[in-house]
Amino acid sequence: MIIAIDGPAASGKSTIARRLADELGYLYFDTGVMYRAVTYGALQQGVDISAEAEVSRLALEIEIDVRPASKSDGRQYDVLLNGVDITWEIRTPAVDTNVSQVSTYAEVRKAMTQVQRQIGLRGDVVMVGRDIGTVVLPEADLKIYLDATVEARAKRRYEERIARDEQVEYDEIISWMRDRDHIDSTRQIAPLRPADDAIIFDTTNLDADEVFEKVLSLII
């Protein structure tokens, strides 16, 4: 079975997807890490993020790998860029502010979508992103779209980062989240939106257990 979970930042996608994959014995794949890895690679190499051709070239050149977690420091998996562990580096404010711009580029999306589709079509997978149910795997057996108010989502992300001892401001988080929501949902290629046959949950007033039970009840 192929399960697609889409939705905006911090709507609870990765928590639910991970639990669902563990419960069913499926592969969990978070497609956001690929866009984050390209963005990190571009920033690291000093590539101007607005230079579409250069960023696209880099996306085709780099090797992104996602593997089972090698450390128990809160990570769900290891993310490697050309063999180097960048699991936490892709979660920095610099990546947060630039990733949506990188994700608008057609050639970047084409390269990422191709890999994601290959992995997804093997089946027994819970794939998470923005366009999984609409573009990457429109044939998915179950499509879930998680949403929540931007205030609730910013609060969750703020608490996550504080728990990791990071110096962050709530106002800053809600501001980049609004910007990202806007870019992601208005871009021309594969914008963030629920597929016509997606089941939509508003998680604003639900905790992770409640969302998990609701989603699981659709399967079992």
Indicate the residue among 35 and 40 with the shorter CB distance to ligand CDP.
Answer: 35
137 binds ligand CDP, rule: CB under 6 A: no
50-57 contact pairs (CB < 8 A, 24+): 50/101, 52/105, 52/107, 55/102, 55/105, 55/108, 56/105, 56/106, 56/107, 56/108, 56/111
Compute how many residues bind ligand CDP; rule: CB under 6 A. 14
Indicate the residue among 161 and 212 with the shorter CB distance to ligand CDP.
Answer: 161
Stretch that binds ligand CDP, among 65-73, 97-105, 195-203, 209-217 (CB under 6 A): 97-105
Cβ-based burial of 36 (10 A; exposed 0-12, middle 13-18, buried ≥19): buried
Per CB under 6 A, the list member of 9, 42, 126, 142 interacting with ligand CDP is 9
Q: What is the DSSP letter of 26?
A: P
Shortest distance in whole angstroms from residue 86 CB to ligand CDP: 13
Distance CA 190, CA 99 (A): 15
Instruction: Work out the widest C-alpha separation in the chain, in whole angstroms.
Output: 48
Distances (CA, A) of 168 to 101, 139, 155, 173: 22, 39, 11, 8
Per CB under 6 A, the list member of 18, 32, 52, 62 interacting with ligand CDP is 32
Indicate the residue among 31 and 56 with the shorter CB distance to ligand CDP.
Answer: 31
Distance CA 48, CA 71 (A): 33
Stretch that binds ligand CDP, among 81-89, 99-107, 117-125, 167-175 (CB under 6 A): 99-107
Residues numbered 52 to 91 that lie near ligand CDP (CB under 6 A) are none
Q: For tokens 């290959």, what's the residue? A: 118
99 binds ligand CDP, rule: CB under 6 A: yes
Which chain residues interact with ligand CDP by CB under 6 A?
9-10, 31-32, 35-36, 99-100, 103, 129-131, 180, 184
